Chains A and B, each alone.
Chain A
Amino acid sequence: MLFQYISIDNINVADDSFRMTFLPDLEALKVSIRSIGVVSPIHLRHTADGRYQIISGYKRVLASKELGKQTVPALIYEHVDISPIHSFLHNLHDNVFSRKLNLIEKAIVVSKLSRIYGVPEEELVERYLPLMGEGKSYKILHQLTSLVEVIEPVKTYIVRSELPLSSAARIAEFSPSAQNALLTILESVKPSASKLNELLDLIREISARDGISVEDVLVRYELIAIVANPLTAPQDKIRALRQTLKGIRLPRLMEKQTEFLKLIQELELPEGADLKVDPYFEDPSMKLEYKFDAPEELELLVAHLGEAIKKQQWKKIFEWYRA
C-alpha cells in the first residue's frame, strides 16, 4: 500500500465496480474540501492496465473534481494485493460504520454481492443484511433486490421521501412505464407510507381486476386531474384520490354508503350532531353524538329528532339497514 497525491485524471471515475453511493449530497463535503482540503485519503486499486479504480472515496473524488482540484491524497493498493470482492467489502465497511446507507444503496450492495461477486442468498441474509442494519430475512433481501430495477427518478423519489422498504418494494412491483406514470401522482401528493401503500394497492388491484394497464387506470378515471390542481392541499388531494379509487375498487360498498348517507342527511340533524355507523354495516347499532353547551341547543336536537320520527325517517333507516 502506497500513499501519494494522485492526479484525478488518472482515476477511472466511470468504473463503479465497488461503488454503492446513490444520490450523494456533495455540497457540505465541497465546503469542507474548499476549506481544508481532503482530510482522509481515498483508497484506490491500481489495475493491470495502469488505471486506478476507486475502492472508497467516490464522493471526495467527485467533490474535488467539481471544485477543480487536480489531485487527491490516496492510499494505493496493487491489484494483486486486494481482490475485487475485498475491495467492495472494504468500501462497504468504510460506509456502514460511518453513515447510514439509504435503501437504494443497500439494494446496490446486495445486488452487486450477488450478481458480481457470487455471494449466495443465505450469506447475504445472515451476514450482510445485519451489517447494513436490516433484519435477517429473505423477504427483506428480495425487496431490496427488487429496487435495483426501479427507474432512476423513482429511486430518487424513494430516497428523498425516505420511504420504508415495504412501500419502495410495492412501487418496484410495477412496470417501468407504470412507475413513471405513478411518479406524477406521488410527487404531487407526497403521501405517508401507509397512505401510499393503500393507494398503490388500490391502483394495482383495479388494474389487475379490469385487465388494463396502470397508465390506463390513471387516464380512464382521471386520477391525474385530481392531483393536478396546484391550489388544492396535498391532504385534500389524497382524500379525493382515496375516495375515487375506493369507489372504483368497491363500487357496491360505496353505493351502499352513499345511499345510507343520503338517508342520514334526510334526518336534517342540527349542526354538531353526528350519527355514527359501522362503515361496512357489520354492527347494526348506531351511535348519535351531539355536542352542545346551552339547553336551547339540546331542545333543537330533540325537535329535529321528533320531526324525523314523525316523518318515519328513523324507521326508514332501520328498515334500509335490515334489508
Chain B
Amino acid sequence: MVFRPEKVFIDRSVKDHPRTRAILDKIGSDDIVVIDDIREIKVPEEFDIGKKRLFVTYQKGKAVKPCQGMTGKELCCNYWTMDVISNCPMECSYCVLQYYLRNNPILTLYVNVDEMAMEALNLFVRNKGRRFRVGTGELSDSIALDDITGFSERLIHYFSGCKNVILELKTKSKNVSHLFGVREKENTVIAWSLNSREVIEREEIGTATLEERISAAKEAVSAGFRVGFHFDPVIFGDGWEDKYREAVEMMLEEVPHNSIAWISIGTLRFPVGLKEVAMKRFPLSKIFFGELVAVGGKFRYFRPIRSEIYRTMLRFLSPLKGKVPIYLCMETRAIWEEVFPQVTPTNSAIETHVLSTL
C-alpha cells in the first residue's frame, strides 16, 4: 500500500529539517501548508479525512513509554512503546486508534526520530541490568510508511549496539524487503499481526493478505531476522476454530519454528466508546455483534468465551510448546492462572517468559 496524503501540513520548526525534506521528496505533494501552531489545523470531523492528511512535526513527549497494559488492571509483558508515527494508513474496523485519536486524527510523522532514539538509548544504557522490549506499532503500523520515512531502518541501526533491547517492528504489511539489507539484525524482531483469512479480508482493509504476511515473514527469516506473530484480535463466531486453525497451520508450515521469537494471542477488546464510532465507520462489520460485555470500561468477550479461545489456540500452537514463548495480551490474572498455570501471573514473570528464548 502506497500512502499519498491529500494534504500536507508542516510544523514551521521542522520545515528545514533534513528528514522533512526527505519525506516531502518522497511524497511529491503540491498541497503543503506550513503552520506555526497545531491549533491552526482544523481537526477533521471525519476520522477518514484525518487519515488522508499528513502532519510533519516534532515529538515533544517522552521517546519511550510503558505500554498501556502496564498501567491497567490486566497483566502485561512489560512492553515499551515508541511513537514515531501517530495514526495509520490502514483501515481495521476494530482499530482502537479511531477512538484514541478521535480529537487528533491527522496522520503525524515525528522527524526527530534520531533524537528520540538517542533518548531511548540513554534509558537502556542507564538500566543495563534489565531488558527492554520496545515496539513502534502502538499508534501506527511500524512498517507501512517506511517508504516515505525510513524510520525502521534508522531505529534498527540505533538500537543495534544495545544488547539489552529488542526492537519489535509490528506490521500488517508485506513490504519488508527494504530492511533485508541492514547488517545489524540480532536485536530486531519483525512481527506480523495474523488473523483468519476472513477477518483480514473483511475487517483489515488495505492490509496484506494472510499468505502475503506469512510469505513476507518467511523471507524475513531467510534474510536473517527473527520474527514474531500476534494472533490478535481473535474474533469469535460460527466456525471460528477452523478459520484460525488454517491460519496457524499456514504459519507453522511456512515459517521455521526456531526463528520465531514469540507469539501472542489476544481476543477482541476495545474501549466502550469505540463501538459507536466503529459501527458508524464500518456498518457492514459484524464483529461488534459478538457476545461482548463491558468490563472496566472495555468491551470484551465474557470470560468463558475467552478461555475457550485461548485453550483452542494453544492447542493449535502445541507444536511450538517448549520452543517458542506464547503469551496473552492484556489479559486478567484469572485467565492467566487458568490458561498458563505454569507461568506466575505477574508482569515481570510474563516478561521473563516472553524473553526466555532470546
Residues in B neighbouring A281, C-beta threshold 8 A: 302-304
Proximity bits, B140-164, A CB within 8 Å = 1, else 0: 0000000000000000000000000
Closest to A285 in B: B334
Instruction: Report A200 CB to chain B, min CB distance, Å.
Output: 12
Instruction: Report A83 CB to chain B, min CB distance, Å.
Output: 30
List the one stretch of B62-70, B89-97, B105-113, B288-296 in contact with chain A.
B288-296
Chain A residues 81-101 with CB under 8 Å of chain B are: none
Interface centre among A205, A209, A281, A284 (most CB of B within 10 A): A281
Residues in A neighbouring B303, C-beta threshold 8 A: 280-282
Whether, in the assembled complex, A286 has its beta carbon less than 8 Å from a beta carbon of chain B, the answer is: no
Closest to A209 in B: B289
Residues in A neighbouring B288, C-beta threshold 8 A: 205
Proximity bits, B278-310, A CB within 8 Å = 1, else 0: 000000001011010101000000111100000
Instruction: Report A146 CB to chain B, min CB distance, Å.
Output: 12
Interchain CA distance A250-B334 in the complex, whole Å: 22
Contact A280 to B302, CB < 8 A, known contacts A208-B289, A250-B293, A253-B293 = yes
Residues in A neighbouring B302, C-beta threshold 8 A: 250, 252-253, 256, 280-282
Q: Which of B289, B291, B334 contacts A282 (CB 8 A)?
A: B334
Contact B291 A205 (CB under 8 A): no
Instruction: Report A276 CB to chain B, min CB distance, Å.
Output: 16
Contact A282 to B45, CB < 8 A, known contacts A205-B289, A252-B291, A256-B304 = no
Residues in A neighbouring B291, C-beta threshold 8 A: 250-253
Closest to A137 in B: B45
Whether, in the assembled complex, B338 has its beta carbon less than 8 Å from a beta carbon of chain A, the answer is: yes
Contact A322 to B338, CB < 8 A, known contacts A205-B289, A250-B293, A282-B303 = yes
Chain B residues 244-302 with CB under 8 Å of chain A are: 286, 288-289, 291, 293, 295, 302
Residues in A neighbouring B286, C-beta threshold 8 A: 208-209
Whether, in the assembled complex, B332 has its beta carbon less than 8 Å from a beta carbon of chain A, the answer is: yes
Interchain CA distance A283-B335 in the complex, whole Å: 10
Instruction: Report B222 CB to chain A, min CB distance, Å.
Output: 44
Instruction: Report A245 CB to chain B, min CB distance, Å.
Output: 13
Proximity bits, A137-180, B CB within 8 Å = 1, else 0: 01000000000000000000000000000000000000000000
Interchain CA distance A250-B305 in the complex, whole Å: 12
Contact A252 to B305, CB < 8 A, known contacts A208-B289, A209-B286, A280-B295 = yes
Contact B295 A282 (CB under 8 A): yes
Residues in A neighbouring B304, C-beta threshold 8 A: 252, 256, 281
Interchain CA distance A282-B298 in the complex, whole Å: 13
Proximity bits, B332-343, A CB within 8 Å = 1, else 0: 101000100000
Closest to A254 in B: B291
Interface size, B (range):
10 to 19
Closest to B338 in A: A322
Instruction: Report B274 CB to chain A, min CB distance, Å.
Output: 14
Closest to A138 in B: B45
Interchain CA distance A138-B304 in the complex, whole Å: 40
Interchain CA distance A282-B269 in the complex, whole Å: 14
Interchain CA distance A281-B21 in the complex, whole Å: 55
Instruction: Report A321 CB to chain B, min CB distance, Å.
Output: 9
Residues in B neighbouring A280, C-beta threshold 8 A: 293, 295, 302-303
Interchain CA distance A43-B320 in the complex, whole Å: 83
Interchain CA distance A281-B301 in the complex, whole Å: 11
Interchain CA distance A280-B292 in the complex, whole Å: 10
Chain A residues 240-285 with CB under 8 Å of chain B are: 250-253, 256, 280-284
Interchain CA distance A126-B108 in the complex, whole Å: 27
Instruction: Report B194 CB to chain A, min CB distance, Å.
Output: 25
Chain B residues 77-119 with CB under 8 Å of chain A are: none
Residues in A neighbouring B338, C-beta threshold 8 A: 322
Residues in B neighbouring A283, C-beta threshold 8 A: 334
Residues in A neighbouring B332, C-beta threshold 8 A: 282
Closest to A250 in B: B291
Closest to B335 in A: A282
Instruction: Report B170 CB to chain A, min CB distance, Å.
Output: 28
Instruction: Report B201 CB to chain A, min CB distance, Å.
Output: 19
Proximity bits, A296-323, B CB within 8 Å = 1, else 0: 0000000000000000000000000010
Interface centre among A280, A284, A322 (most CB of B within 10 A): A280
Interchain CA distance A138-B42 in the complex, whole Å: 13
Closest to A204 in B: B279
Instruction: Report A252 CB to chain B, min CB distance, Å.
Output: 5
Contact A284 to B334, CB < 8 A, known contacts A250-B293, A253-B293 = yes
Closest to B302 in A: A280
Residues in A neighbouring B305, C-beta threshold 8 A: 252
Interchain CA distance A281-B354 in the complex, whole Å: 27
Interchain CA distance A252-B305 in the complex, whole Å: 9
Instruction: Report A261 CB to chain B, min CB distance, Å.
Output: 15
Interchain CA distance A28-B266 in the complex, whole Å: 62
Chain B residues 12-58 with CB under 8 Å of chain A are: 45
Interchain CA distance A88-B332 in the complex, whole Å: 58
Residues in B neighbouring A250, C-beta threshold 8 A: 291, 293, 302
Chain A residues 207-226 with CB under 8 Å of chain B are: 208-209
Residues in B neighbouring A208, C-beta threshold 8 A: 286, 289
Residues in B neighbouring A138, C-beta threshold 8 A: 45
Interchain CA distance A236-B45 in the complex, whole Å: 41
Closest to A282 in B: B303
Closest to A122 in B: B42
Closest to A206 in B: B289
Residues in B neighbouring A252, C-beta threshold 8 A: 291, 302, 304-305
Instruction: Report A171 CB to chain B, min CB distance, Å.
Output: 15
- B residues sitting closer than 8 Å to A (CB atoms) are 45, 286, 288-289, 291, 293, 295, 302-305, 332, 334, 338
3 nearest A-B pairs in the assembled complex, by CB-CB distance: A209-B289, A280-B302, A281-B303
Q: Assuming A250-B302, A256-B302, A281-B302, what are 8 further A-B pairs, CB within 8 angstroms?
A: A138-B45, A208-B289, A250-B293, A252-B291, A256-B304, A280-B295, A281-B304, A282-B295
Cross-chain pairs A/B with CB under 8 angstroms, 19 sampled: A138-B45, A205-B288, A208-B286, A208-B289, A250-B291, A250-B293, A250-B302, A252-B302, A252-B304, A252-B305, A253-B302, A280-B293, A280-B295, A281-B302, A282-B295, A282-B302, A282-B334, A284-B334, A322-B338
